Chains A and B, each alone.
Chain A
Amino acid sequence: MNRLDNFKAGFIKENPVFALYLGLCSVLAISTTLNNAVGMGAAVIAVLVLSNVIISAMRKITPDEIRIPVYIVVIATLVKIAELLIQAYATELYVALGVFIPLIVVNCIILGRAEAFASKNTILDSAIDGIGMGLGYTVGLILISVIRQVLSSGVLNFSNPFTQQMIFEVRLIPQNFVIAMFSQPTGAFLTFAVIAAGVEYLRTRPAKKTKEVK
């Protein structure tokens, strides 16, 4: 699979969230506002790319039997560094994401990609894979967050995580028509279900088309 295909796959065909169902915990819990989604997405992309690169760089010297603990140490270190940096420089994001920052360690996407890809491919390929998967995750996360935020509060806004300055704010649904349920777990599951079904439909539909043509 060439680099571009691999990059694109991270978005739809192998979208980590909607196709592979990885990293669900954080997706459902964090997706309440656009700010959270962007912040978490950025953290995940950073950790994913760096861990892919480091693990790929070490792949020739890492003994096969202890590879999982080694990956875990690398990922955990990166996540902890990310956590400390967020805690220091983007405190509001830190409070909003809470325990889900350290939980990036067990985000199946990161360990999964390390095992499935980075351990067997070059540094550059691994980095690109990381970006692709990370972006796929972030896009999925943003999609759910936007839907949930707009439906549950009517407002879509985004503020700079480092300075807390509001960058834009737009009301899309009048206050009287908001559906508060979408900020609750039920709404999260529902939104995810509908999008997942949509993605599933998109994934299987073209195959049917080609079958008929043949």
Chain B
Amino acid sequence: MAELFTLFLTAVLINNIILSRFLGMCPFMGVSRNTSSAIGMGGAVTFVVVGASLFTYGLYHFILVPYSLQYMDLITFILVIAAFVQFTEMVIKKFSPVLYKALGIYLPLITTNCAVLFVALENIRQGFDFYEMIVYSFAVPIGFTLVLYLFSAIRERLDISDVPAPFKGNAIAMIVAAMMALAFSGLAGLV
């Protein structure tokens, strides 16, 4: 139990998917302009990551391994993810058209969000058992949402500040990310 908690904490704070592993950057740059869309994006990503992890984990252990088809992992995983994102898109469109509109192009882009494929691959590479896989696939997108939210809050203020022209937009965002990464790296002593 303690190990699961450590796994959770490590994935959320210490090896944070954005600030420590640099994954999930595309929405980081694009959706983080205001806090509400950040939360919405975070929620969508969490749903996709957990769902995709469950399916890819099952696929790997119940089909690919018994039939010695491990080399098909990349193709099958990414197809599962693409299908699941499509499904998520339909669900969101039906239940929250507002969110659907707000997320716009970034919803189908979750398919190419490195974070999703990363979690699916890591579940296999780290040899997680079922419970570890569940904890990890929740923890990573929670860490993602956390950073995305913090970042969007900062960016809301950044947009009305006097930033030097070449730095406007993405470059200053990167500097903010640098400082956040520095702050988060101090959490390494937590576990």
Contact = CB atoms under 8 A, between A and B. Distances in A.
A99 B121 contact: yes
B143 to A, nearest CB: 13
A196 interface: yes
B181 A186 contact: yes
Contacts of A80: 71, 73-75
A195 to B, nearest CB: 9
Contacts of A189: 174-175, 177-178, 181
Contacts of B122: 99
B26 interface: yes
A187 B182 CA distance: 9
A103 B79 contact: no
A203 B115 CA distance: 31
B78 A25 contact: no
A56 B170 CA distance: 32
Interface in A164-214: 181, 184-190, 192-194, 196-198, 200-201, 204
Contact of A193 (B21, B71, B167, B182): B167
Interface stretch (A105-113, A117-125, A132-140): A105-113
Interface string B166-179: 11111111110111
B173 to A, nearest CB: 8
B185 interface: yes
B174 A102 contact: no
Contacts of A200: 165-169, 171
B185 A197 contact: no
B25 interface: yes
Contacts of B171: 193-194, 196-197, 200
A156 interface: no
A24 B25 contact: yes
Interface in A11-36: 21-22, 24-26, 28-29
Main secondary structure on A side of the interface with B: helix
Q: Which range contains the number of A residues in contact with the other chain?
A: 35 or more
B112 A108 contact: yes
Interface in B133-179: 164-175, 177-179
Contacts of B169: 200
Interface stretch (A1-9, A65-73, A146-154): A65-73
Contacts of B111: 106
Nearest to A24: B25
Given A21-B170, A29-B22, A99 B165 contact: no
Given A72-B79, A84-B71, A106 B22 contact: no
Contacts of B7: none
A140 B114 CA distance: 20
8 contacts: A25-B25, A26-B22, A28-B22, A99-B121, A102-B117, A103-B23, A106-B112, A193-B178
